[in-house]
Each structure stands twice: as structure tokens, then as C-alpha cells.
Structure 1
Amino acid sequence: MTNENLNTVIKNAKEALKYPELYQNVSASERWLSGAAGTFLFVKGIQALFSHPVIGLTSAVAGAGLLYRGITGYCPMKDYAEQEVANAPDEVVITETYVVDDLA
């Protein structure tokens, strides 16, 4: 991760903490659970980093993502899923039907 990406993440986290009503899409209970699970996974991942590098790094990254979700109250995946549901059509109109004879 470059310094520019890290600065963007920090700036987004500060904005989310400053204006929580604009960015929060996670309930309080989800935030607490994400924070607790993220802390656990991050600490365990850092501890396992030298004995099992792949598992440790994966755990640390997942924990960091959950910590970000818990601290800011914003989940980009949940936001994307809500946008997809909002863009889904309400009804399907069938204008033509085709009858295919059985080939066997």
C-alpha cells in the first residue's frame, strides 16, 4: 500500500468520524461485533505472522477490514449491495412467448 492510499484511508476514516450521519450504514450492534472480531483477528494475525505467514497476513488483513468497519460504521460491501437492490427492477413484463417442440 502506498502512502497516498494510506492517506486516503485515514482521511476517509476522519471524515466518517466527523460526519457519522453521512457515512454510517452499519448498526451499533454490528459495529461492536465487527470491532471485537476485527481486534481479535488482527492481533492473532500479527502473532502468527512469523510462524504461518500466509494465514497470519490473511487474518491481519481481515481483522483490519473489520476494525475499519467497526470504527467508522461504514461497510462498502453493504453499501454496494444496497445500491444493487435499489437498482433492481420492480416487475418483469413478458411481451412475447415462444413454444419449442420437443426434439426427442
Structure 2
Amino acid sequence: MTNAEINNTVEKIKDAWRNPELYENISDSERILSGVVGSYLLFKGLTNIFRHPIMGAIGAAAGVGLLFRGYTGYCPSVDLIAQSEADEITEKIFVTETYVDNSL
């Protein structure tokens, strides 16, 4: 992953936060599930922050990320995968003629 791809994704995240309706790339059911799971992870992370600081912080960070995904409908991972798939698409080949050989 290059710096240009990372910068492009960060800019899209900032713009998605300002205008969530422009960058929706996940379905409504994924948004709801992300919101529910993100709320749970954030709650569990914050309640465990004093017993297990590292695991609590990781859980809280994952919860915030899922809440962002659920609120905006934009997932940076899905966007990066779509960008890499778009780069891999080669030229299309159009068949204009067909030839049938009946010599067998």
C-alpha cells in the first residue's frame, strides 16, 4: 500500500464524516450490526480499561471504528479492496467474429 492510497483513504474518511450520504458503501443491515457490535465493544472496552488496559483500549478502539462505520455507512476497508480490484481489471476483450470449424 502506497502513501498516496493511504492519503486518499484518509481524505475520503474525513469527507465521509462531513457528508455521510455521499460515501455509503455498506448496506443498512451492516450499518445496524456495526452500530450494535461497536456499542458493545466500546462499553466492554471502557469497563475493562482498568483491569486489562491494553485489551480494554483495543476493544474501545474497535468499538469506535465500528460505530463510525455504522454512523456514516462508509467502510475504508471495503473502499481499499474496491480500489485494488479496480487496479487489477485488465482491458476487456470484445469478440466481433466467431468461426466454426466443422472439419472433425
Q: Same fold (TM over 0.5)?
A: yes
- How far is the alpha carbon of 1:11 from its aligned partner? 6.9
Q: Which residue of 1 aligns with 2:89?
A: 89
Which aligned runs of 4 or more in structure 1 are off by greater than 3 angstroms?
9-12
Q: Deviations over 1:42-85 (max 9, x none)?
A: 00000000111000000000000000000000001100101111
Change (3 A) 1:48 1:34: same
- How far is the alpha carbon of 1:86 from its aligned partner? 1.1
Aligned partner of residue 69 in structure 1, secondary structure: helix
Q: Which residue of 1 aligns with 2:77?
A: 77
Over the matched positions of the two proteins, sequence identity in percent amounts to 44
Q: Distance in 1 between matches of 2:19 and 2:89?
A: 33
Q: Distance in 2 between matches of 1:35 and 1:55?
A: 20
Q: Deviations over 1:1-52 (max 9, x none)?
A: xxxxxxxx78742321xxx1x2100100110111100000000000000111
CA RMSD across the alignment = 1.9
Q: Give the alignment's TM-score, normalised by structure 2.
A: 0.69
User: Match for 1:15 among 8, 19, 36?
Assistant: 19
Aligned partner of residue 42 in structure 1, secondary structure: helix
Q: Distance in 1 between matches of 2:18 and 2:90?
A: 37
Q: Give the alignment's TM-score, normalised by structure 1.
A: 0.69
